[in-house]
Amino acid sequence: MMSNKWKNGLMLLAVVLLCVLPLLFVSGDFGGADDAAEGVITEINPEYEPWFKPLTELPGETESMLFALQAAIGAGVIGFSLGLLKGKQGQAKQNSISK
Amino acid sequence: MKKRGFWSFAALIAGFTVYFMLNEPGTAQAMHIMEGFLPVGWAVFWWVAFLPFFVLGIIRLRSMTRENPELKLLLGLAGAFTFVLSALKMPSVTGSSSHPTGTGLGAVMLGPLPMGVIGSIVLLFQALLLAHGGITTLGANAFSMAVAGPFAGYAVYKLMMKLPDREKLALFCAAAVADLMTYVVTSFQLAVAFPAADGGVLASFLKFGGIFAVTQIPLAISEGLLTVLLWNWLKSYSPNEMSLLKRKVKGGNA
């Protein structure tokens, strides 16, 4: 059997490749905004007018900052939880030894 | 065994390389439905369809955390995972970018209903601050990402756990299906709102699905892998916590 470390490493590599390979081999603009979705809609129904505008339109830089913030908050909470679990496990081991 | 694993991995990469080279790049973006881009009637319809799940989710969350305060940690973890993954806009084979949903893990750990609440919080954050998705389309987007995705993932997990010793495969498939299902439903929502002049809803569905769902396929695979990674990590630190949750999942009816 492959060790868990190996498997985890390969899985991470696969995730990275799934991102990198399209960038290398597909020539698209990889636009991050969802603006172009309206292209398909206007193609089907040229008269359609969006009836509601987003409440806030932040500059692109601020938007990417907020996306980074979103990921950072999530990663922080995941790290905290894993740390807590690991600490609990260590404590339980110590308790069972001292008993 | 190690060698065989390596070669099948190499074959997978070779396969993807060919796939990427042959694939035609498109231009549309695969993400949530934009603000104002659902006709009023449909926007209201999806809000109404989504709200009962949200209320049930809140009820479920409250009873869950009351019975089992330890679950709060896993709840935070599931929410955080959704937060991280839906912030990662990844390039995909169609030449446009989209992001995974991260709802599969939580659906497997806690059942699909709590994810209805967690997923819609993430969507609200993105709609309000990032002009990504929208308030009027929040009902529709929440229905696809926070309701349909988790339920599909949970069903897949339940089905596949009937096979012996296939926990990780089941988890992978659950996460990937939850991710993919989100965008299949998004395509459906757009198709019924904008049926094509000839071919109607079906033609529109194929058109939207061709863009939204195809873009999402490699991302769904990524999400499945990342979910299994976190699961492995969790398990190495906390065999107890996971078994507690398994009992919870098995005993729970949500």
Position B104 scores a pLDDT of: 92
Position B212 scores a pLDDT of: 79
Instruction: Tell whether the model's pLDDT for residue B2 goes beyond 60.
Output: no
Q: Name which residue leads in pLDDT, B10 or A83.
A: A83
Position B49 scores a pLDDT of: 94
Whether the predicted model's global pTM rises above the 0.90 cut = no
User: Smallest CA–CA separation between B185 and chain A, in Å?
Assistant: 15
- Cross-chain Cβ contact B83/A77 below 8 Å: yes
**Which residues in chain A are contacts of B238 at CB distance < 8 A?**
85-86, 88-89
Position B28 scores a pLDDT of: 37
Instruction: Work out the burial of residue B39: count CB atoms within 10 Å of its CB; fewer than 13 is exposed, 13-18 middle, 19 or more buried.
Output: middle
Measured CA to CA, the distance from residue B230 to residue B158 in angstroms comes to 19
Q: Any CB–CB contact under 8 A between B235 and chain A?
A: no
The model's pLDDT over B34-61, given as tens digits with 9 standing for 90+, comes to: 888 888 899 999 999 999 999 999 999 9
- Cross-chain Cβ contact B134/A36 below 8 Å: no
Option in A21, A77, A84 nearest B80 (CB): A77
Position B175 scores a pLDDT of: 94
Measured CA to CA, the distance from residue B64 to residue B49 in angstroms comes to 24
Residues 112-151 of B with CB under 8 A from A: 125-136
Measured CA to CA, the distance from residue B89 to residue B185 in angstroms comes to 19
Share of chain B above pLDDT 70, in %: 85
The model's pLDDT over A47-56, given as tens digits with 9 standing for 90+, comes to: 777 777 766 6
Q: Any CB–CB contact under 8 A between B169 and chain A?
A: no
Task: List the single best residue of B4, B37, B72 to mutate versus A (max A Cβ within 10 A).
Answer: B37
> Quick one: average pLDDT of B158-176?
89
Q: Any CB–CB contact under 8 A between B218 and chain A?
A: yes
Q: Any CB–CB contact under 8 A between B22 and chain A?
A: no
Position A29 scores a pLDDT of: 67
Tell me what ipTM this predicted complex has. 0.81
- What token pair was written down for B119? 């997923």
The model's pLDDT over B88-119, given as tens digits with 9 standing for 90+, comes to: 888 887 777 888 999 999 999 888 999 999 99
> Quick one: average pLDDT of B4-30?
60
Proportion of chain A in helix, strand, coil states, percent, rounded to 5: 70, 0, 30
- Cross-chain Cβ contact B225/A14 below 8 Å: yes
Q: Is A25 helix (H, G, I), strand (E, B) or coil?
A: helix
User: Smallest CA–CA separation between A98 and chain B, in Å?
Assistant: 20
Q: Is B91 helix (H, G, I), strand (E, B) or coil?
A: strand
Q: Any CB–CB contact under 8 A between A65 and chain B?
A: no
Q: Any CB–CB contact under 8 A between B16 and chain A?
A: yes
Position B145 scores a pLDDT of: 93
Who contacts B76 (Cβ-Cβ below 8 Å, separation ≥6)? Answer: A77, A81
Q: Name which residue leads in pLDDT, B216 or A40.
A: B216
Interface size between A and B, measured as CB pairs under 8 A: 212
Helix (H) or strand (E) holding B184: helix B167-193
Q: Any CB–CB contact under 8 A between B94 and chain A?
A: yes
Position B242 scores a pLDDT of: 61
Q: Any CB–CB contact under 8 A between A87 and chain B?
A: no
Instruction: Tell whether the model's pLDDT for residue B144 goes beyond 80.
Output: yes
Low-confidence residues of chain A, pLDDT below 50? 32-35
Position A67 scores a pLDDT of: 86
How many angstroms separate the Cα of B103 from the Cα of each of B44, B113, B129, B166?
Answer: 24, 11, 21, 20
